[in-house]
Structure 1
């Protein structure tokens, strides 16, 4: 499907697609059968290839060593990353622009620039056992004690925690004039009081795990607080907007890969004397899948363009939810149809449809479940009207 992309975005699309096809997809089955891992020398080659493909520091200005991509260009690149399973597309770093806007000079030097240089890696400790999509329900606390804060709480689904050098830890202020307000902190791995509770097994096989951590009287300097007390949710919302749109983009890439693979199989598979693709039932599944992909991709690209053009932040927040909602549910339907087209082969772990069938399911959950996205969208309609959401 050819969409009217600017020349640089089209070039990024072609470059990243070539990298994914050449360097990542051939290792999917190996990763699936080895707990998400590939040989270390291969992983290093993947990281080098990702750097050459322009996947490092896409959201960071060129003045700080980044690519300075627009949001549309990033969405185009992330879509191609979405075409590969087993988290192999996570072989690049991806610090976000909001970090530069929110962090102090000390924090940028200590944590953000090392991410940009690929010397350190981060993870987000936000979700809790009783607080998932409802972030305001978190129970973790941060109590000021002189020049330090004392952090307590338990965090679940800390994606990439096993690979990270530090965490973004979200808590509510305990005591003082801002009691109950959210705050975000840098916390280095290995800080006394951080306990790895366990690392649950998940439906997918990724190199990046999602451990549970318990924080017991973890003491960090005031200088580790990002912004002011009460700013924590603003930064989390910025992260959510970005991640939701990029999840939607990756879902489009996954759907395209599935349609391609299912179509190729249906052309080659002979059933009752003719190619499977000649069967109307299969044609309808492919047609529905392609139509939904086209709609989802248009949505993702248009939301990205609007944000690049300076769209109203609250409208953009709701439209990122719209993109994630539609694209993630679209990709799930496409994966289900692809498994059906492949038949018994589609239930084998070595088959791309089986892997995506498992992996895409979480896109309707993390960074806000589909139900939360619907509430955000409905709230936007209620406050700003239908036209603000759809024009």
Structure 2
């Protein structure tokens, strides 16, 4: 099938100025031409006059596996069927909001990945970590510390998972290999305390350099990388020393840490949306009210670290980190980044930069000939009205893999 998208103002995802009245030709699943409009031999014409066309958006930090009320899951109040339905609803909403690709940083098992790949349910392209590696007493192990050790109620093989704690080099090695068995395409580790934690503080460091390094070695053996949850400079420096490829959140980055990240080619994915959502109403994320008190000044410290990292030459991506049943706010990340970095930088972070961080820039992240045909059209000016990214209804056309999967043009 050949399709010609005509008449749009094009933002290509690479940071160049918007270009008006562009046409994009799609053949099968690829972009084959970008330029001025010309008659299309046998192509289906899609009129995008008055709209802005962008690459499919990428959310580089999701937790789609935790799409239900977390407290209800931990209390055994939801069936597997209900949890699966919540996950599939979330995937559909993510695609409808214009996010044609996600990088899931813990919670999705192989069964969900296969279900989406086979086209049994609609959803974005998914690169997943399976589960996040966590030490005993570390971030990522939700549930009461009074509960006995063992499998988490959040874990359902084939649907979603939360890894058992892994301590020491050999346990980390085994856990990393298990992640790959469950369909992981990269590894995620928690190297500091976290906001959504029950037995640590953000200032705590977790995992030794040697433990992190063995996960890095396992990832490199699979031609991939490790990214780390990190909320303080000491934990980030340990991770960089161990050879990780990326840092999530980045709260507490100072000038020396930023310089160290830049020198080692380590990327950063700040997650402003979850900090804002938890600050305003943590219960909407399916979490106990007390977690809101742990947010504190995390958002501002994350912004400060992001700016230091950017100024040092670190590649800064974009991730929402939303959890719970109310995840249809992925565009909020672009809104918040636009306020700090500017609208174009926010768009680039969620398109070509995220593709580079995820090592898929040869296929995704920009509107260029040869790239996969993932595109979105919005009915607003993203540079003068970036706040409208928070409204999924303003995304009026979504093309995924060369197929129109949403079309609400008037």
User: Is this a same-fold pair by TM over 0.5?
Assistant: no
Shorter-chain TM-score: what band? Answer: under 0.3
Query: TM-score, normalised on structure 1?
Result: 0.24
Structure showing greater relative contact order (alpha-carbon pairs closer than 8 Å, 6 or more residues apart): 2
Larger fraction in helix: 1
Q: Which has the larger radius of gyration?
A: 1
Larger fraction in strand: 2
